[in-house]
Amino acid sequence: MAPDAERLDIILLGATGFTGIHCIPYLHKLAKENGRNLSWGVSGRSEDKLKAALDKMGGEIEADLSGIPIIESDIKNDESLLRMAKKGKIVINCCGPYRFLGEPVVKACIEAGAHYVDVSGEPQFLESVQLKYHKDAQEKGVYIVSACGFDSIPSDLGLVFVQDKFPGTLNSVVSYLEMWEEGEISPGPGVNYGTWESLVYGLAHATELSSIRKHLFPERLPTFKPKLQLKTLPHRPCVVGGWALPFPGADHSVMKRSQRYMYENENKRPVQVDTQVVFKSFFLVIAMIFSFLLWSLLVKFKFGRDLLLNYPHIFTAGLFRKDQNPSEEKIAKTLFRITFYGEGWDQKLANKNDQYSTPPNKSIVARVNGRNPGYGATCACLVGAAVTIAAEKDKLPQNGGVYTPGVAFGKTSLIELLNKNEVTFEVISQKDI
């Protein structure tokens, strides 16, 4: 293995992909921001395509990126991945679906002693990696932190932010995700095909989660009262407009894993969480319910999965297309907001297992806002996560391991970094109930 002085601080793997190429401007900026002087390079199968990606993004940001190191690697060749990982201290992995392509990179990074971050929103991958590799990562002193994009830094770090700002003990938090397009709606897909591919396979293999969790978390957490009642039917939230449904993404499971860690390792009472997604009209709610039921049925059969994967524009009303990525104009006009509504008590108890004898008497509303959730906010979060590991490793949990973003970065300045880079965290109100 090359000495640390000879290794790049950060390597961007999959830099020619749709997410990877949008990370390049953030790497160029954040590597030098606030007095940092981090070295970085790009990696992928084709040197010519990597040079073209650097030229393209260098032209857009008016920077000469011709001197950025290029490391050829093949995601399907373990030896190639190990050689790549030995050349960097941190690897940003933008190659998905992670169910198929993520584990070899994690293994290579642990063997090479390189830290690892990615943007996976696939709970089966996230939790199986924790189950299989947490001890190995600890022994190597390596940090493996997945879900560092839109899934799930805004929600998981958002919950940590709410906990920090709440004056007493937080009992429960419900998050409400809203997304919309600014101005006139642009034609074409809104999200990259890779995200759809991950969603289809995630639905198809959702039953795997119960077995993984049985081994990962053999002991149940205590029941804390009052118990948060999860809302499964369409309803109108009190803190945002529109209609809400349960959000089917990875946020809920990631947030729960963070809270479990804090309970088991930091003597903190776990916050009960619920995640909802908001639609402006009841018609869209009905359409979403129907679509999700149809997808859930089709993924059970190979021919159904093939239909979904080959004709996503038919099954998503054009949101995804196999043969077309979102336009730069469309992704730049897409905004998101996550509103957190929390309830708790204005005083703290001494022990994490203590129960309150009175109902919650304090509420808080906070928000995380951003633009371009798929490729702007995601890239800011992902690159920010890598930069934070490089600059503030002493503030991460001791000894390395596989962690959620909330656990890994809860005591760092990542929120402050994001506030300066288009993903803002703010408290809206705190009131007595």
pLDDT tens digits in sequence order for the chain, 433 residues long? 666 778 999 999 999 999 999 999 999 999 999 899 999 999 999 999 999 999 999 999 999 999 999 999 999 999 999 999 999 999 999 999 999 999 999 999 999 999 999 999 999 999 999 999 999 999 999 999 999 999 999 999 999 999 999 999 999 999 999 999 998 888 888 898 989 999 999 999 999 999 999 999 999 999 999 999 999 999 999 999 999 999 999 999 999 999 999 999 999 999 999 999 999 999 999 999 999 999 999 999 999 999 999 999 999 999 999 999 899 999 999 999 999 999 999 998 889 999 999 999 999 999 999 999 989 999 999 999 999 999 999 999 988 999 999 999 999 999 999 999 999 999 999 999 9
CATH top-level class of 4-145: alpha beta
Which amino acid, 47?
E
Contact between 428 and 166 (Cβ < 8 Å): no
Write down the pTM of the prediction. 0.96
* Residue-level pLDDT at 2: 67
Burial of residue 114 (CB within 10 Å: 0-12, 13-18, 19+) is buried
* Residue-level pLDDT at 187: 84
Both structure tokens of 9: 């601080």
Contact between 276 and 177 (Cβ < 8 Å): yes
Using left for φ > 0, alpha for ψ between -120 and 50, and beta otherwise, residue 113 falls in: left
Distance CA 328, CA 59 (A): 15
* Residue-level pLDDT at 301: 96
Report angle CA 77, 83, 85 to the nearest 5 degrees.
Answer: 100
* Residue-level pLDDT at 1: 62
What is the 3-state secondary structure of 160-174? HHHHHHCCCEEEEEE
| Type and span of the H or E element at 23 | helix 18-30
Its sign, for the CA torsion 97, 285, 368, 402, is negative
